[in-house]
Amino acid sequence: MPRFAANLSFLFQEWEAEARFVAARDVGFKGVEIPFPYDFGLGRLGDLLAMNGLELVSFNAPAGDWDAGERGLAALPGRKGEFFDGLERAFDLADFVEAKRIHVMAGVIPEDEDFDLVYDTYVGNLRRAAKEARARGLTVMIEPISPAVIPDYMLATPEQALAVIADVDDHGLGLMLDVFHAQNTQGRLTETIEASMAGLAHVQIAGVPDRAEPDAGEVNYPYLFDLLDAHGYGGWVGLEYHPRMGTLPGLRWARAWGIRPDAVTPPPARPAKRGR
């Protein structure tokens, strides 16, 4: 049975930032994803998680200048110092709130960049990152992302990510498999999941092709949940989708897995913000 985690940058946007933790708890979530939780401050973030009985199951290391279009630093030549400074900040946060998984974004690579240099930079940085994470009892993760979402991102397909993981060859590095991206770039989801199991650290889901609730579209998620169970996956499944008609109505699909959208009263209407 899947353990669902609410991505608080996609779901519960009707609530103010701190109130999302309470709403997620009351609906029945035990875990949350927060892509960039640094603005809360360590103490406040720890309080919000502890008071609501929530685990921070996944978050991103600092990813460069997001407003300027940067989407990670791990594969960018000449940014090694900045990458590891940010990773140390992520390690400190993970230690403080007892999180176990950190997503390390690769970066957007210009077409004229030397690919061999980029790849060597990426693998070298990930080897060091994985070694340091493993020493702390943590896992750093890489995620392939569809070019339709982030053009020119270093990793587009699960096959590419698994090749990188094989080259790094360290158990401190794992795969974050977002089924939405995997279906859009590679498909063959049964084969993809089975090939990924040895290094699978985290799963995310959304409907395809609209990235809304996973109860409609081209992916048979109940089948995939059973497949993950059959292969012994005991990790989290992050809900990273844009609700069609609001968070609570959109969560009705998850009642069969213990989520209780009717247990919460929605707040007064406020403009929704869309996540990454």
Positions marked active-site: 143, 240
Phi, psi dihedrals of residue 231, rounded to the nearest 5°: -95, 10
Distance CA 139, CA 94 (A): 10
- Could you tell me which of 11, 8, 54, 55 has the C-alpha nearest to residue 253? 11
The answer to whether the beta carbons of residues 244 and 211 sit under 8 Å apart is no
Distance CA 156, CA 147 (A): 6
Distance CA 69, CA 172 (A): 28
Kindly state the helix (H) or strand (E) to which residue 130 belongs, with its residue range.
helix 115-135
Cα-only R_g, the chain: 18
Looking up tokens 């985690």 gives: 5
The answer to whether the beta carbons of residues 174 and 200 sit under 8 Å apart is yes
Residue 28 Rama label (left phi>0; alpha psi -120 to 50; beta): left
Distance CA 217, CA 241 (A): 13
Single-letter amino acid, residue 255: R
The answer to whether the beta carbons of residues 138 and 96 sit under 8 Å apart is no
Distance CA 273, CA 238 (A): 18
The answer to whether the beta carbons of residues 92 and 62 sit under 8 Å apart is no
